[in-house]
């Protein structure tokens, strides 16, 4: 049958009208269209010389910061740095911005955190200290290209470890390895690569907030580019995180008001980042941060491949998706009556005092709880209960109200002390895992 | 041997993608039908005494919808008058064959059938449209005309609502498509189970919103329902094909992804400054539209003027094409004198 839904057709014509682009990025031998002086070196929106291109990228970065006016003078900012091209690109722009003349000078204090995620790649031997030190040395060497910033080291496995990057001793690494073994054992108990990746994304954010708090930084700069946002927008929708996706793809993620995540190069695409690095001849570890275990089938990896494919043939679609990110807002319920009782709620209040309206938040990702009275989640639970009772239609007819109540109770997790504190996306992480595994995160 | 989850003692014949439960054939029928009934009652899709038109294409979704709606109407005494409404786009070798299936449904289910053709509504069949526009933008014409044709048919039949066979997979796919197109307006409304374009318009409802395509196919197969399953000869929709393949790949990893995407689509919220469409009545044809004149009228004008690309792309481009043609006509008239 016709596979084209009526929803495809709006005032601007059909979706199928999106045609493959044949845009060429070839450097053309002509004069810069912007300054009309220099010979062009790149053709992004038009032919540009090196100076104009670098100014164009820097302007995107600075404009996002100045338009939002979120970062006040003398704030402390933490940069999440792994040594990849977007990290180096943003660090270079900050480095130059801090040295500028009075009116254009960036007025914040920067510190850098390198979070070691070596253990997440299944191919890596976590006990191979030589290899691990080499990696850290490589990051240090990249950082030497810039003004001396305070640089810290931490591990994805333990947010409490924050060490000076210049001085990591063997004892410290041994402690890190112990924590990594525990984290890997926990990840093993989660049922799929999708769940593992989703959980790691959440603890990475949690670690960054904790470290920023420890270092007295109010802001964390993330180095997400346009394609990262497009990938995250779609994969988070597929993970059932529609209610919180706006936080994960917006310029400012302020779900925890005391520590805000900012994405100052969200409007810069990877071609621009790579060209910036090339033209400034900067040293990097690689172009884009590798996602661990890309060979495994997961929602995130399949989405990433899908978007990479679109980038090749329909590059305008990737920027369209990224532009959509700026049109969505975080989910809020005006009069949400989420009664949280018992031990966990008091623990929640104790451990996360900085989150003012914690009773409405997911314990893990800190977004608003989204399951209450969801019709779709209700349909899933109703389906489960009706399947169980399907042998006797008379029984279903007589007990429909009871089945409905049970289904609604399951959606609202009235029987489960842990699940009621998690949003739908975070509940999905623990699909098929025992309640003991779920309970561990509350300890 | 896997036994049926409902403890009836029978061997399970399928694993339900939504929940992972294994069921035997009879228990699957019961669960499948009860769920659609629950969707109808919870969503308050119909009122007692309503006249409901099923948008019938002869495909699996509308065939299953017609069968189940008739069955539930009798079982739960909805007191509905159900009619079939089909649109004949005029595609030789495709629609003429599928309409035969719809006619068989009419006879099997004892429902009145109304067939409206593009030719009688617009004076153009899709075969003729393709002969002038080619196979690049033909789906725009077909989709825009069909949307309006259903409204016209519903008005002619004086029905209270139109039920369409959109299933859970279709809705999840549309959520993804709207994100890929950056169409936040449609993203906002595509997950709604009941849509009103305005208060006077006839609402559209989707009773199969939470029903997986795989289960619809299984239901039709086990019930031996007759449906038409050929792809349209004019629809090489590469872009939607990409999105569909992507969704199928995701579903292989986590079957519940379809419901998760619908849940996400329902939960997502938009910034207050994002414009909402203002729905109005087209001053040319009198049907609901968000622009003046409506898209169907612009496309039709283009076909009748010999400018088939008039409604494709930007409005300003279309206006320039009209101005150019008018100028040429004036010159021609002057030269004739």
Mean pLDDT of B25-53: 96
Nearest CA of chain B to the CA of A291: how many Å? Answer: 18
**What local confidence, expressed as pLDDT, does residue B38 receive?**
96
β-pairing verdict for A150-155 and A108-116: parallel
Residue B311 and residue B295 in contact, taking contact as beta carbons nearer than 8 Å: yes
User: Is a pLDDT exceeding 50 seen at residue A316?
Assistant: yes
- A186: helix, strand or coil: helix
Does residue B299 contact residue B311 with C-beta atoms inside 8 Å?
Answer: yes
Residue B32 has a pLDDT of 97
Residue A150, pLDDT score: 95
Report domain extents, chain A.
Answer: 22-65, 70-325, 342-440
Q: Do A387 and B16 touch (CB under 8 A)?
A: yes
What confidence score (pLDDT) does residue B283 get? 84
Nearest neighbour of B190 by CB, restricted to A7, A330, A382: A7
SS3 A47: strand
Q: Which CATH number fits domain A70-325: 3.40.50.300, 3.40.50.620, 2.60.120.650, 3.40.190.10?
A: 3.40.50.620
* Closest CB from A5, A239, A370 relative to B170: A5
CA distance linking residue A122 with residue A187, whole number of Å = 12
Q: pLDDT-based confidence at A23, cuts 50/70/90?
A: low
The shortest CB-CB distance from B27 to any of A240, A390, A404 is to A390
The predicted-structure confidence for A192-223, as pLDDT tens digits, reads as follows 999 999 999 999 999 999 999 999 999 999 99
Q: Please return the burial class of B185, using the count of CB atoms within 10 Å of its CB with bins 0-12, 13-18 and 19+.
A: middle
| CB-based contact B263 A377, cutoff 8 Å | yes
Position of tokens 């209040």? A349
pLDDT tens per residue, range B120-145: 989 999 999 988 888 777 888 888 88
**Residue A27's pLDDT is what?**
60
Can you tell me the mean pLDDT for B32-36?
Answer: 97
Interface test with A, best of B139, B174, B292 (most A CBs within 10 A): B139
Interface check B270 vs A, CB under 8 A: yes
Note whether A327 contacts B184, CB cutoff 8 Å.
yes
Least reliable range by pLDDT among A226-235, A286-295, B49-58, B292-301? A286-295
* pLDDT at site A15: 46
Please write the tens of the pLDDT for every residue from B173-197.
999 999 998 888 888 888 999 987 6
How is residue B127 written in tokens? 């075969």
Query: Measured between CB atoms, does B140 come within 8 Å of chain A?
Result: yes
Contacting residues for A281 by C-beta, under 8 A, at least 6 apart = none
Question: Is the pLDDT reported for residue B263 higher than 70?
Answer: yes
Contact status of B105 with chain A (Cβ, < 8 Å): no
Question: pLDDT tens-digit profile of A172-192?
Answer: 888 999 999 999 999 999 999
Cα-to-chain-centroid distance, residue A45: 28
Question: What's the pLDDT tens digit per position in A43-75?
Answer: 887 888 999 999 999 999 999 998 888 999 899
Alpha helices in A40-169 (DSSP H): 50-68, 85-98, 129-143
- Gap from A3 CA to chain B (nearest CA, Å): 8
CATH code of domain B46-268: 3.40.50.620
Q: Is A334 on the interface with B (CB under 8 A)?
A: no
Instruction: Identify each DSSP E strand in chain B by its residue range.
Output: 14-15, 22-23, 51-55, 81-88, 112-117, 161-163, 194-195, 204-205, 269-270, 280-281, 288-289
> Whole-angstrom Cα distance, residue B194 to residue B226?
27
- Interface confidence: ipTM more than 0.85: yes
Residues 383-422 of A with CB under 8 A from B: 383-384, 386-391, 393, 396, 400, 404
CB contact under 8 A, B250 and A299: yes
**pLDDT score for B97:** 82
pLDDT at A355 over 50: no
Q: Which of A197-201, B77-81, B98-102 has the lowest mean pLDDT?
A: B98-102
Cβ pair B144, B296 in contact under 8 A = yes
Q: B260 to chain A: which residues are within 8 Å by CB?
A: 237-240, 424, 428
Burial B87-100 (b: 16+ CB within 10 A, else e): bbbbbeebbeebbe
Which string of b and e fits A254-290 if b means at least 16 CB within 10 Å? ebbeebbbbbbbbbbbbbbbbbbbeeeebebbeebbe
pLDDT at A34 over 90: no
Which of A6, A232, A400 is the mutation pick for testing B, counting most B CBs within 10 A?
A6
Question: What is the DSSP-derived secondary structure letter of residue A376?
Answer: H
* A positions 269-328 inside 8 Å of B (CB): 297-299, 302-303, 306, 309-310, 314, 317, 320-321, 323-324, 326-328
The reported pLDDT for the residue numbered B146 is 87
Instruction: Say whether residue B27 is in contact with chain A using an 8 A CB cutoff.
Output: yes
């Amino acid at each position: 049958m016709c596979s084209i839904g009526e929803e495809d057709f709006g005032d601007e014509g059909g979706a199928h009208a999106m045609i493959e682009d044949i845009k060429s990025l070839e450097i053309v031998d002509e004069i810069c269209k912007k300054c009309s002086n220099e010979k062009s070196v790149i053709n992004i929106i038009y032919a540009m010389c090196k100076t104009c291109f670098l100014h164009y990228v820097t302007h995107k970065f600075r404009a996002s910061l100045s338009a939002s006016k979120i970062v006040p003078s003398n704030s402390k900012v933490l940069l999440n740095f792994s040594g990849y091209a977007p990290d180096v690109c943003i660090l270079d722009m900050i480095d130059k911005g801090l040295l500028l003349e009075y009116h254009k000078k960036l007025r914040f204090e920067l510190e850098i955190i390198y979070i070691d995620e070596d253990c997440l790649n299944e191919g890596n031997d976590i006990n191979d200290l030589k290899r691990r030190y080499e990696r850290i040395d490589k990051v240090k060497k990249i950082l030497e290209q810039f003004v001396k910033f305070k640089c810290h080291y931490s591990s994805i496995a333990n947010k409490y470890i924050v060490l000076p990057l210049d001085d990591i001793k063997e004892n410290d690494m041994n402690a890190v390895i112990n924590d990594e073994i525990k984290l890997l054992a926990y990840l093993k108990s989660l049922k799929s690569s999708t769940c593992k990746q989703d959980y790691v994304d959440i603890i990475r954010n949690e670690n960054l907030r904790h470290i920023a708090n420890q270092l007295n930084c109010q802001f964390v700069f993330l180095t997400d580019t346009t394609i990262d946002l497009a990938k995250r927008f779609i994969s988070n929708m597929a993970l059932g995180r529609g209610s919180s996706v706006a936080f994960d793809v917006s310029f400012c993620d302020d779900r925890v008001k005391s520590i805000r995540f900012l994405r100052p190069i969200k409007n810069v695409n990877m071609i621009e980042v790579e060209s910036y690095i090339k033209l400034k001849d900067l040293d990097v570890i690689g172009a884009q941060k590798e996602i661990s275990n890309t060979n495994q089938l997961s929602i995130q990896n399949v989405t990433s491949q899908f978007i990479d494919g679109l980038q090749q043939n329909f590059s305008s679609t990737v920027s369209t998706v990224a532009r959509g990110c700026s049109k969505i807002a975080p989910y809020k319920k005006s009069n949400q009556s989420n009664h949280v009782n018992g031990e966990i709620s008091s623990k929640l209040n104790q451990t996360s005092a900085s989150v003012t309206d914690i009773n409405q938040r997911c314990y893990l990702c800190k977004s608003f709880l989204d399951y209450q009275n969801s019709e779709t989640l209700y349909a899933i639970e109703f389906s489960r209960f009706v399947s169980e009772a399907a042998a006797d239609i008379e029984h279903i007819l007589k007990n429909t109200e009871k089945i409905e109540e049970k289904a609604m109770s399951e959606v609202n997790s009235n029987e489960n002390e842990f699940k009621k504190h998690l949003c739908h996306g975070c509940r999905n992480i623990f699909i098929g895992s025992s309640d003991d595994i779920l309970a561990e995160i509350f300890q | 041997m896997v036994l049926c989850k409902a403890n009836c003692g029978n061997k399970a014949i399928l694993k339900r993608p939504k929940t992972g439960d294994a069921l035997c054939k009879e228990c699957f029928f019961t669960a499948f039908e009860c769920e659609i009934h629950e969707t109808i009652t919870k969503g308050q899709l119909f009122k007692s005494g309503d006249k409901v038109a099923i948008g019938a294409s002869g495909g699996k979704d509308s065939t299953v919808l017609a069968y189940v709606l008739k069955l539930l109407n009798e079982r739960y005494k909805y007191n509905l008058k159900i009619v079939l409404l089909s649109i004949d786009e005029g595609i030789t070798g495709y629609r003429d064959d599928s309409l035969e299936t719809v006619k068989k449904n009419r006879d099997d289910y004892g429902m009145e059938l109304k067939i409206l053709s593009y030719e009688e509504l617009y004076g153009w069949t899709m075969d003729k449209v393709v002969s002038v526009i080619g196979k690049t933008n033909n789906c725009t014409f077909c989709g825009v005309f069909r949307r309006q044709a259903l409204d016209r048919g519903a008005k002619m039949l004086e029905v209270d609502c139109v039920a369409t066979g959109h299933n859970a997979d279709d809705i999840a796919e549309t959520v993804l498509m709207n994100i890929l197109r950056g169409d936040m307006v449609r993203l906002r409304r595509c997950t709604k189970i009941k849509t009103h374009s305005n208060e006077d318009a006839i609402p559209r409802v989707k009773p199969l919103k939470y029903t997986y395509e795989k289960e619809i196919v299984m239901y039709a197969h086990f019930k031996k329902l007759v449906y038409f399953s050929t792809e349209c000869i004019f629809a090489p929709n590469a872009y939607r094909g990409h999105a569909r393949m992507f969704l199928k790949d995701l579903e292989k990893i986590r079957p519940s992804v379809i419901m998760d995407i619908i849940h996400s689509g329902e939960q997502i919220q938009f910034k207050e400054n994002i414009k909402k469409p203002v729905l109005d009545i087209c001053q040319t044809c009198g049907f609901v539209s968000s622009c003046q004149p409506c898209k169907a009228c612009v496309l039709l004008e283009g076909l009748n003027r010999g400018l088939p690309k008039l409604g494709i792309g930007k409005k300003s481009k279309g206006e320039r094409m009209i101005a150019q043609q008018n100028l040429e006509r004036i010159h021609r008239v002057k030269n004739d004198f």
